[in-house]
Amino acid sequence: MSLFASDLEPAPDDSTSKPSASNPPDESPLDSACGSISPESSSCLGPRCAALILDWLRRHAAGAAAAELELPSVPRWPRAADPAALQGVAVKPPHDAAVNGGRQAWLFSPRGYREEAAVLADADELDAAFDHLDYAVFRRFTNTLTRAERIRLDNSIDNALFKIERFLTKRAPDDPSSDPSWKRFEAIRAEVIHRRNEVEQLRIQARRAEEKLARLANLTPEAFEEFVAEVFECLGFQTRAVGGADDQGVDLVLERQGLRAIVQCKYRGKGVVGSPEVQKLLGAVHRTGSHKGYFVTTSTFTLAAERLAADQPLELIDGPRLTELIRQALGPGATREPEPPWF
């Protein structure tokens, strides 16, 4: 025997599902079938009533979730295939918008600088070109680069300057300097010129230093000692030559502000200076009661010699460092205050 009363009732007619005055369109089937059901009711309408209740709960839950979400409306652009829809539309969709069946989302993606482009298209590309130029200038004159990287960055900087100047000139042909971006362009161009002049000056100084070092290689040992004494005198030291057969590893004595140092000059065209010779100078420093010792050579020092001098009152001056010392003492902007301090 069935437990549900609906099993004994005839199936409902299809006409009952159509809208009528007693069953308006806005009223759900659950409202019409189960509106009179109360907790106190002892009867049940059977499986059909349960299905209606579940359907009603699903629809109301979906409606509540949609109301809480309240998604913003997505701009709708006319389809390109419909020419009539494009009439009167003055704006074009963003070039980087996500297209899906004619619907496009406004995704922010700034237009980057295109180095291969011959011209700048608009103000967005102008801003991107300025950003690219700032970074290229910083990288070119700050980082350590290979020759190929320097050439590539120089070309990139020149191309960006050309395109920016051309864009600003076309935007304000009568007076480009009136453009707000012109001052920024002039500042960057002036910085590029200044940095390139500095690099050229460093190249000239390096070339002169190499020439001075080459001339030092042609000096006699005695002339080399005299030249080193002259350099220290230009730096504000009082010098006294020792020399002789019994010099005990001391060629010059330096005095300045009550402090004393000794100098060992080693003229050597080839080979390197090792730790035994540096150890000999260290012994002379302790023996003479000097504050510091300088070992000057046209050659270089071994790693063992440099490690020995690192923890001792010794200063090792090889060929490149001697060239820098010559520039500091005799070159443009020469100073009588050596850097770093010698005592």
Tens-digit pLDDT profile for residues 164-192: 999 999 988 888 888 889 999 999 999 99
| Helix, strand or coil, per DSSP, at residue 214 | helix
Q: Would you mind telling me the total number of residues written for the chain in this entry?
A: 343
The pLDDT of 239-266, averaged and rounded, is 85
Lowest mean per-residue pLDDT among 16-20, 101-105, 151-155: 101-105
Q: What share of the chain is helix, strand, coil (3-state, %, to 5)?
A: 50, 10, 40
Q: Say what percent of the chain tops pLDDT 90.
A: 32
Distance CA 127, CA 134 (A): 11
pLDDT score at 157: 96
221-330 classified as CATH 3.60.15.10: no
Number of Cβ atoms within 10 Å of the Cβ of 162: 12
Beta-sheet pairing, 259-266 with 252-256: antiparallel
pLDDT band at 303 (very low <50, low <70, confident <90, very high): very high
What is the identity of the amino acid at 165? E
On whether the CB atoms of residues 140 and 124 are closer than 8 A, the answer is: no
Confidence (pTM) = 0.41
Q: Which residue has the higher pLDDT, 28 or 197?
A: 197
pLDDT score at 305: 93
CB-count burial class (<10 Å; 0-12, 13-18, 19+) for 252: buried
The pLDDT of 97-109, averaged and rounded, is 42
On whether the CB atoms of residues 331 and 322 are closer than 8 A, the answer is: no
pLDDT score at 313: 93
Is it the case that residue 326 has pLDDT exceeding 70? yes
pLDDT score at 99: 43
pLDDT score at 65: 60
User: In what order do the strands lie in the sheet containing 292-297?
Assistant: 238-241, 252-256, 259-266, 292-297, 314-317
The pLDDT of 224-229, averaged and rounded, is 87
Residues 17-61 pLDDT 10s: 444 444 454 555 555 544 545 444 445 556 676 777 777 777 777
pLDDT band at 85 (very low <50, low <70, confident <90, very high): very low
